[in-house]
Structure 1
Amino acid sequence: KLHAQQKHPGRKGRSPEELAFYAPNHLCLVVLSILLCLPLGILAFKERKKIVLANRNSEWEQAYKSSRKTGWLSVFSILGGLAIIYLIVLYI
């Protein structure tokens, strides 16, 4: 813990209570969405970066808004990519 504070002197350690407020960043969904549908996957990745920054700065409301948006973008991207693959396989 001391080593982490030496690397970032202005940054305080996070308590377990504060870590419990962290919004999920949906990393696995974002990676899968990038693989299946690149345009929406890139948008989801940009939103994920907003989650990480908001969590780091203890901006919980912004983090949860971005988390919801990232989740929906990822799901739509995955479903769209799977639909395109299904249509290609079906008609080729």
Structure 2
Amino acid sequence: MPPKPAPADAGASPAAGAPPAAGAPPAAGTPPAAGAPPAAGAPPAAGTPPAAGAPPAAEAPPAAGAPEKPPEEIQTPEELAFYAPNYLCLTILAVIFFPPVGLIAVFFSYKTSQANKNSQWEDAYINSGRTGWLDVFAILIGLGVIYVYVLFM
């Protein structure tokens, strides 16, 4: 059913307390009714959330309490090929054989993994080399301690 046309005296304000006619624009200077969408082309009222699917206003600050998420960077297969090894198995062995040096190797292994995730290849390879050397030293020291213990105790 088509909407009814507005009466001839549509320019006159409606009686006090009477709702405006359906489909009629609100009178100038009157706020829209609660829950009613703003008129086409009118700016949204302060404190109202934007409509679903509407782009955020350029000058509007981000909503309070909403954490800003950095855009996720997806690494290409070529970048994934440059991953520096973090020597996780050797690091676990190093912690078992000689924990003082093995725990330092765990730290550098973690830094290698983080640098790989962030595509910081130079840092990843530097930390990977440190991890490898620390792992070897910790395992050799641990084996030496075991050897001395078995031989002389």
Tell whether 2:33 aligns with 1:33: no
Tell me the residue number matched to 2:118: 57
Deviations 1:37-82 (A, max 9, x none): 0000000000011101111110000000000000000000000000
Larger radius of gyration: 2
Partner of 1:47: 108
Q: 1:68 maps to what in 2? A: 129
Match of 1:22 in 2: 83
Higher relative contact order, chain-length normalized (CA < 8 Å, sep 6+): 1
Cα distance in 1 for residues equivalent to 2:77 and 2:126: 22
Name the residue aligned to 2:57: none
Which structure 2 segments of 5+ residues have no match?
1-68
Q: Which runs of 5+ in 1 are unaligned?
A: 1-7
Separation in 2, partners of 1:91, 1:66: 37
From the two aligned structures, give the one with the greater helix fraction: 1
Q: Which 4+ runs in 1 deviate beyond 4 A?
A: none
Aligned length: 85
RMSD (CA atoms): 1.3
Following the alignment from structure 1 to structure 2, what is the Cα–Cα distance between the partners of residues 35 and 49? 17
What TM-score comes out, normalization by structure 1 length? 0.87
CA distance in 2, matches of 1:74, 1:22: 19
Normalising by structure 2, report the TM-score.
0.53
Give me the identity figure in percent: 49
